[in-house]
Amino acid sequence: MFIEQPPFFYRMLFPETIWRIPGDKKTVYLTFDDGPIPQVTPWVLDVLDYYEVKATFFCVGDNVARNPNLFQVIRDRGHQVGNHTMNHVKGMSMSPEKYVRNVMNAHDLIQSRLFRPPHGHMLPGQAKLLKKDFSIIMWDVVTRDYSNKLSGEQVFGNVKRYARNGSIIVFHDSIKAERNLHYALPRTINWLRENGFLFKIL
């Protein structure tokens, strides 16, 4: 559970960040990390279009630089975008200044005030600096679609077990997640809708 739904004490380590957005109605926020890549992102966009769902894509700057047209397609289809650093770097191994510089390099390409740290790892000093310019978005549910130790059924099961009003749910439009994503994403959307959840972007 620690990975799939971070406990309260872990969330309190980063008071500058947003983990969940509960509202009056049952609402969830679908998010996708690490793209855009041509092998996976177009399929994700087609699934979202089919179900008429909007999501938020936290993009890696390098991938945006390599796939600018695909990045624009995400925006043209009405989805939100966010910053996921320039090179998917781990904040724990970098100085606050170097980390922020990496984020700002990605910002030059992405132009979004939403930021999510890769792996959810960063130092308190980095969070304080970034809070000046960004809303730092974490998550309430990590599907773990990237794990080769989990099946698509188990990934879908993580959503069914942990999703609640205000959940920010993380999938990945990445090669590692592709197999599980193909199984879990359509079923997740159907299940959430059948259980009365509305979908919003951040």
Out of 119, 172, 173, 182, the active site residue is 172
Residues 202 and 114: beta-carbon distance below 8 Å: yes
Q: Name the E strands within 12-83.
A: 17-18, 27-33, 56-59, 80-83
Identity at 86, one-letter amino acid code = M
Cα four-point dihedral sign 166, 185, 146, 150: positive
**20 contacts 167 by C-beta, under 8 angstroms:** yes
Is 34 an active-site residue?
A: no
**Does a cis peptide bond (omega within 30 degrees of 0) precede residue 15?**
no
Residues with Cβ within 8 Å of residue 57, at least 6 apart in sequence: 31, 32, 35, 36, 41, 74, 79, 80, 81, 82, 173
For the chain, the C-alpha Rg in angstroms (whole number) is 16
3-class state of residue 29 by DSSP: strand
The DSSP bridge partners found for residue 115 are: 83, 136
Cβ–Cβ under 8 Å, residues 159 and 169:
yes
Is 79 among the catalytic positions?
Answer: no
Residue tagged active-site, from 33, 34, 140, 173: 33
Catalytic residues: 33, 172
